[in-house]
Amino acid sequence: MAMKEELIKNAYSEAITAHRSPDKPFLKKSSTGSSEVIFSFRGSWAVKDWYSDKSQRPFGEKKINLKLFPSLRSIGNEEAADVNQAFEERFQLILENPKLKDKVQKAAKDKKQVVFTGHSSGGPIAILATIWFLEEHRKGNIIFSTLPLCLTFGSPLVGSHIFSHALRRENWSGNFIHFVSKYDLIPRVFLASLSANKQKFEKILNFLSQRSKQVPLHLAQDAQDIFTEVMTNALTLTSHVACKLMESTNLLLETVTNFIELSPYRPFGTYVFLNVGGNPVTSDNFNAVLQLLFYSCQPSSDDEVLEIAKRSLGDHHGYESELPNSFRGHNYSSDKSYAYEIDMLNKAADAFGLSTSGRLCLLVAGESEEQKKRNQEKVKSKVTDMERALKEIEHYKNVCELEKVGLYDSFKLQKDQKDFKANVKRLELTGIWDEIIELLKGYKLPDEFEGQRQWIDLGTQYRRLVEPLDIANYYRHLKNEDTGPYMTKGRPRRYRYQQQWREHEKKMEKGSSGESCFWADVEELFCQGNEKDVAKKIQKQVLQWEKEGEIGNDVFLHNSTFVQWWNSLDSEIKLNDIQPLIHG
Amino acid sequence: MTKLFSSGSELANVVVGSDLLQQSWKAILELANGNPDPSLRFGISQEGKNPTIITFFTSHDFAIDRLKQGPDLVSSSSSVAKDSFGLFVSLSGKTQFAINRAAISLFDQHRDKLLSELKDKINDSNRLIITGYSLGGSVALLFTLWLLESVTSRKPKPLCITFGSPLIGDTGLQKALVQYSWNSYFLNVVSDQDPVPKLFINPDLGTETAHLENGHKPFGTFLLCSGSGCSCFEDPETVLQLLVKTAPSANQDLNQRNGLYPYGNIVEYVKRKALCRDNSDAERAPSPFAAGIITELSAIGITSPQDQNEEIDGLVERMEKQEKKFLMAKNKSLISFKKLTDAKIFMTYLEWYKKASEDKKIGYYDCFKKKLSKTDMDVDEFCRRLTNYWVDMVEAAEKKPQKEGASFRMRCLFGGTNYRRMVEPLHIAKYYNQKGGRQAIDYRNKGRHRHFRILEEWLEQWQKEQKNEVGSTTPNDRKRKMVAPSLTIDSCFWAEVEEAILSCKLLNSTESSVEEKDSSKKDLKKFEAYVLGLLKAYSVSIEIFLEGSSFMLWWEDYKKAMGSSFTSPLTNIIENHHKRKRYATGDL
């Protein structure tokens, strides 16, 4: 995406202007003739707007409000993102005012390019606003002709690694550009926990609110203390992440991790490092950016610490002079090959003059992303096997139907060789999918994976054909008596993952895509007795799925477990719409 | 990942950037400056949300004195050791190892006091750090080992940090700790100028002779500190080499220390150093791994002027090999995914084979024994591969320390029991095919593979535990309904049948003596009672009643041998077809 010089300059000036209007929650600027509308958010210099009073956590984080941001989670793993509580609270306040929504709505109608921007702690508000409007677009409440952009300057970190994961999955990651000055402390401040040092932090924020670029003598020691505190924590954090990426086999790391508090915050989107003494350095590899946040302002010796500490505060307002350099020589290439990525990281290391450790950490960040791609290739190579096995099970299903015994019941009885063969295919497919799920659990596949049409469709096809077989197997061996009902105790993880992928993609209610596992509910009702509401619900859902072609006709064969169960129902619970469907 | 990286510097940064070392050293200082007990001092402290810290301290003079008295290793197998090593049950049960005399005798001396005073205070689930200085560190190591032995369900695991402690164990101890993954709880902070940690190392150890098995060996992770910074090392041979290499001229002055070795200052210093750029030159390193090692070495003051290049290359090569070995072990667990799927598929094939054999009216035991068709040959292959898989699983479970192994065993129990009941009959068939002949071959004691016995023991143990909770032994309804598809519960049933067949043959043969015939009759009566018991408990699969099965063939022989007027409770069930049917439906 090519960035226009004008846009960046305008965004920055709007962001700074917003600071100067403390009574307005946001500003809107649209110049005639330009196709952009810029919304800027001001920052706050009160400590409670950085570390919320309501939070007990050392880093001021909380689980994100999924009602506001339903996409900010890892779908299969069911892990919601962490977000800075103070920032989320401030954003929610602004959202309550309908003015913002109206103005953005209008800009969208006029087919303008909407840009959200903020400097310092205005950045997180811009970020959350952008994500919120992207969610609205996804739900269909607002139609943008081009998706909104987010530009931040010297913004602190906002959320956990799930931000990066989820935004990549939704293909929104490219819409976020963060400008960071080489020594600026604020983008690094949440790598540490200053909640124990609130007083010192308050003094620093106070100084920053005056927009001066020179640190006075009386603040020098505090600046040095805070800088050292932040950098020491950043050292621990970045080294910990690097150890994990390097696949360190030393188990002491696990033991020690139990004794230390690590920041949950991580970068996401694209970062542009300014003031590097040449062309700016860009990266969208969030692990590389994390390492750079530490190594780029690492002092060469003890003597340098005070100087760098002072600059770390002074440079926070020094973006204006650096911005003109930010577009020179930059090409946002879409070439994402391995060689290119490694080359870019090496260039970054050179530009910053990184130490050997720094270089190695950058390198491993690049390798880690490459490995994710390699894992995906390996998984892709199994697709033909998978499709073949699925075809055979499809064939089995047809044969069963011809013989007037449905897929589910035929498999449960295991009378013929064809049932046995289907069992073998079932186990083969299980092996393939379990490996995929294992990779997803460790975030070892590219973030886009769970959003890709190919996998969602394959997963749904597999689930619809094979989960009934797993359920039949479960109840055939009476495992429900040993372990418990299938849905609560026996359901393999892979089906949960695949069901949630589909539900997220189609924006369905959680748990509603249950067309593959209703057999389990039927079995339970058959065993334990018919609870009225549950029985009615199942019948209604089955009718719905039949209408939409999501379940096969073999469900309604005369001898099927489902029909037998239905026949056993009391007349007051029975839904007679099912009667005409029964055949065979 | 295809590229290998060395993470010693990063691990050191994590440790040094946190305040764990400062906390521990502070506790040691307090103990040092407190009550002036000349021998071992110990204490326990806890503030607010911080972890509980147990501290051990000995003064330098005391330590040197003791170490001079006891510089040798005491083996776990020696008679002297029985009492003192008794605490380390898990370890001494499985391997032979040795502990430095000074360390173990000091620990012994104060053991009762330690265990009684400290044990109660650490029962809660708070995080725990055990730390010590000099010989006190050795006691801390032993105390942590005891803790790991006795309280294995404790979460989170303890962390043991020692400062300037001498080596206390040998190769045996180090290997046992690695096997149990217990070496991940130990961090030894060592300054390159401190002579105490280097006491028991032969300084003539070059790279080649470093593999002497008899000397003191390090275990756990070492944080080596120098004027250039610090780095972490785990491989024991590497640690030994580096301890020798760094500041080799510092092994005098043992007697001149008056206070503590200044680890407090050292820790502060390396922390400030870690914050700043390192100055290592790894431009010409051939790989990221080598570059990492060069950085780690330069952090402990070993840079590479021309003449040392070979040694450093050798070091790099060694460390790379070590890392690769670790990684291979990790990868093994990934491959096992595929093996698990294969194992499940083979079991399915066997289930099908069993069913097909029943359709032939023979039963899979006999089908396999007679090897009539190609399918029977294929089944042999599945049987072999399943056996390999389960032998590995059982071995892996046994390698784990006592209580951690228990949960692993639980997870394998049902799959393993299913496997045993399905596959052991096939082993029995093979065994009796091979042996043939007249004498009693006694599969159970002579032919049975170890892993089957162990799987059976696991089940019995679990059932004992269940019975203690539940207390009932009647076959429940569900069992009755399941008699038709189930497997015979006693996996050695067919061995008993084969032995009975042999006894029958003895009885019928004209060559056997009267004593032999008598003992055969006794054995056969025992077998009858055994089968009756199984039938009453519904624990035999109905396939034994199939026409072609060895059991029915034995029955015919037995009737012949005992004479036409023979009756027994068994006759009732077997001869009476109705009763047989009722057994199948669970109604006997």
Are the beta carbons of A427 and B345 separated by less than 8 Å?
yes
Q: What is the pLDDT of residue B471?
A: 45
DSSP for B248-300?
GGG---GGG--S---HHHHHHHHHHHHHSPP----TT-SSHHHHHHHHHHHHT
Across B418-423, average pLDDT: 88
* CA distance linking residue B491 with residue B497, whole number of Å: 12
- Which residue does chain B place closest to A481, by CA atoms? B478
At A193, list the tokens: 């926990």
Q: Which member of A40, A71, A120, A368 is catalytic? A: A120
Which residues of chain B from 145 to 174 reach within 8 Å of chain A, CB to CB?
A: 156-157, 159
Fold of B8-276: Rossmann fold (3.40.50)
**Residue A116, H or E segment:** strand A113-119
Q: What is the pLDDT of residue B439?
A: 61
Mean residue pLDDT of chain B comes to 80
Say which range, A370-379, A470-479, B243-252, B294-303, has the weakest mean pLDDT.
Answer: B243-252
* ipTM field: 0.89
Residue B277 CB: number of other CB atoms within 10 A?
Answer: 18
**Does the CB of B62 have a partner CB in chain A at under 8 Å?**
no
Tell me the residue length of chain B. 588
For the cut 80, the answer to whether the pLDDT of residue A247 exceeds it is yes
Question: SS3 letters for A495-517?
Answer: HHHHHHHHHHHCCCCCCCCCCCC
Q: What is the pLDDT of residue B473?
A: 44
Are the beta carbons of A236 and B352 separated by less than 8 Å?
no
Which residues of chain B from 200 to 229 reach within 8 Å of chain A, CB to CB?
A: 220-221
Q: What is the pLDDT of residue A477?
A: 79
A364 CB neighbours in chain B (<8 A) are 5, 288
How does residue B203 score in pLDDT terms, banded at 50, 70 and 90? low
B328 CB neighbours in chain A (<8 A) are none
Q: Which member of A19, A119, A316, A504 is catalytic? A: A316
Are the beta carbons of A256 and B14 separated by less than 8 Å?
yes
Q: For A235, which of B275, B340, B351 is closest by C-beta distance?
A: B275
For the cut 60, the answer to whether the pLDDT of residue B252 exceeds it is no
The residue out of A347, A376, A405 marking a domain boundary is A376
Residue B534 CB: number of other CB atoms within 10 A?
Answer: 17
A290 and A256 inside one domain: yes
For the cut 80, the answer to whether the pLDDT of residue A458 exceeds it is yes
Phi then psi dihedrals of residue A152, to 5 deg:
-120, 155
Mean residue pLDDT of chain A comes to 90
**Does the CB of B288 have a partner CB in chain A at under 8 Å?**
yes
A457 and A485 inside one domain: yes
Across A497-508, average pLDDT: 93
Q: Which member of A49, A82, A184, A409 is catalytic? A: A184
A483 CB neighbours in chain B (<8 A) are none
Instruction: Provide the number of CB pairs (under 8 Å) joining chain A to chain B.
Output: 166
Are the beta carbons of A481 and B478 separated by less than 8 Å?
yes
Question: What's the whole-model pTM score?
Answer: 0.88
Domains of chain B by residue range: 8-276, 332-473, 475-588
For the stretch B163-185, pLDDT in tens is 999 998 888 888 888 877 888 99
* CA distance linking residue B101 with residue B440, whole number of Å: 54
A316 an active-site residue?
A: yes
Q: What strands lie across the sheet with A113-119, from one edge to the other? A: A26-29, A36-41, A113-119, A149-153, A176-181, A270-274, A281-283
A41 and A65 inside one domain: yes
A340 and A436 inside one domain: no
At B319, list the tokens: 């460390």
* CA distance linking residue A431 with residue B342, whole number of Å: 9
A364 and A393 inside one domain: no
Which residues of chain B from 497 to 526 reach within 8 Å of chain A, CB to CB?
A: none
The residue out of A327, A353, A376 marking a domain boundary is A376
For the stretch B292-309, pLDDT in tens is 888 898 888 887 655 566
**Does the CB of A243 have a partner CB in chain B at under 8 Å?**
yes
**Does the CB of A254 have a partner CB in chain B at under 8 Å?**
yes
The structural domain count of chain A equals 2
A346 and A446 inside one domain: no
For the cut 90, the answer to whether the pLDDT of residue A147 exceeds it is yes
A232 CB neighbours in chain B (<8 A) are 17, 271, 275
Across B217-236, average pLDDT: 91
Which residues of chain B from 344 to 363 reach within 8 Å of chain A, CB to CB?
A: 344-345, 348-349, 351-352, 355
**Does the CB of B316 have a partner CB in chain A at under 8 Å?**
no
**Does the CB of A346 have a partner CB in chain B at under 8 Å?**
no
Which residues of chain B from 98 to 127 reach within 8 Å of chain A, CB to CB?
A: 127
A197 CB neighbours in chain B (<8 A) are none
For the cut 60, the answer to whether the pLDDT of residue B206 exceeds it is no
Of B464, B506, B33, nearest to B260 by C-alpha is: B33
A478 CB neighbours in chain B (<8 A) are 478, 482
A336 and A422 inside one domain: no
Are the beta carbons of B17 and A233 separated by less than 8 Å?
yes
Residue B582 CB: number of other CB atoms within 10 A?
Answer: 13
- Which residue does chain B place closest to A252, by CA atoms? B184
Q: How far is A480 from chain B (nearest CA, A)?
A: 12
Are the beta carbons of B181 and A253 separated by less than 8 Å?
no
Say which range, A250-254, B213-217, B433-437, B582-586, has the weakest mean pLDDT.
Answer: B582-586
How does residue B73 score in pLDDT terms, banded at 50, 70 and 90? confident
- Which residue does chain B place closest to A232, by CA atoms? B17
For the cut 70, the answer to whether the pLDDT of residue B213 exceeds it is no
Q: For A427, which of B11, B221, B341 is closest by C-beta distance?
A: B341
Top mean-pLDDT range of A170-174, A317-321, B192-196, B403-407: A170-174
Helices (H) and strands (E) in chain B, counts: 22, 9
Q: What is the pLDDT of residue B51?
A: 87
**Does the CB of B20 have a partner CB in chain A at under 8 Å?**
yes
Q: What is the extent of the structural domain holding A312? A: 5-376
Q: How far is B500 from chain A (nearest CA, A)?
A: 33
How does residue B129 score in pLDDT terms, banded at 50, 70 and 90? very high
Are the beta carbons of B277 and A481 separated by less than 8 Å?
no
> Do residues A440 and A504 lie in contact, with contact meaning Cβ atoms separated by under 8 Å?
no
Q: What is the pLDDT of residue A366?
A: 93
**Does the CB of B70 have a partner CB in chain A at under 8 Å?**
no
Q: What is the pLDDT of residue B472?
A: 46
Are the beta carbons of B186 and A298 separated by less than 8 Å?
no
Q: What is the pLDDT of residue A330?
A: 53
A350 and A392 inside one domain: no
**Does the CB of B17 have a partner CB in chain A at under 8 Å?**
yes
Which residues of chain A from 474 to 503 reach within 8 Å of chain B, CB to CB?
A: 478, 481
Are the beta carbons of A438 and B337 separated by less than 8 Å?
yes
For the cut 50, the answer to whether the pLDDT of residue B207 exceeds it is no
**Does the CB of A56 have a partner CB in chain B at under 8 Å?**
no
Q: What is the pLDDT of residue B177?
A: 86
Cis check for the bond before B156: say yes or no (omega within 30 of 0). yes
Across B509-532, average pLDDT: 82
Q: How far is A499 from chain B (nearest CA, A)?
A: 23
A184 an active-site residue?
A: yes
A220 and A167 inside one domain: yes
Tokens 């228990």, residue? B406
Are the beta carbons of B185 and A252 separated by less than 8 Å?
yes
**Does the CB of A236 have a partner CB in chain B at under 8 Å?**
yes
For the stretch A176-228, pLDDT in tens is 999 999 999 999 999 999 888 888 899 999 999 988 888 888 889 999 999 99
* CA distance linking residue B217 with residue B100, whole number of Å: 10
User: Which stretches within B360-401 are classed as H helix?
Assistant: 364-370, 374-399
The residue out of A314, A341, A376 marking a domain boundary is A376
For the stretch B320-365, pLDDT in tens is 787 777 777 666 655 567 788 888 899 888 888 888 888 888 888 8
Contacts of A555 (CB under 8 A, 6+ apart): A406, A408, A542, A546, A562
A254 CB neighbours in chain B (<8 A) are 184
Q: For A355, which of B11, B181, B278 is closest by C-beta distance?
A: B278
For the stretch B543-587, pLDDT in tens is 888 888 888 888 888 887 777 666 777 777 777 766 676 676 666
A352 and A258 inside one domain: yes
Across B255-281, average pLDDT: 83
Q: How far is B185 from chain A (nearest CA, A)?
A: 6
DSSP for A135-153?
HHHHHTSS--SS--EEEEE
A340 and A444 inside one domain: no
A414 and A349 inside one domain: no
**Does the CB of B187 have a partner CB in chain A at under 8 Å?**
yes
Q: What is the pLDDT of residue B118?
A: 78
Q: For A301, which of B276, B294, B352 is closest by C-beta distance?
A: B276
DSSP code of residue A579: G
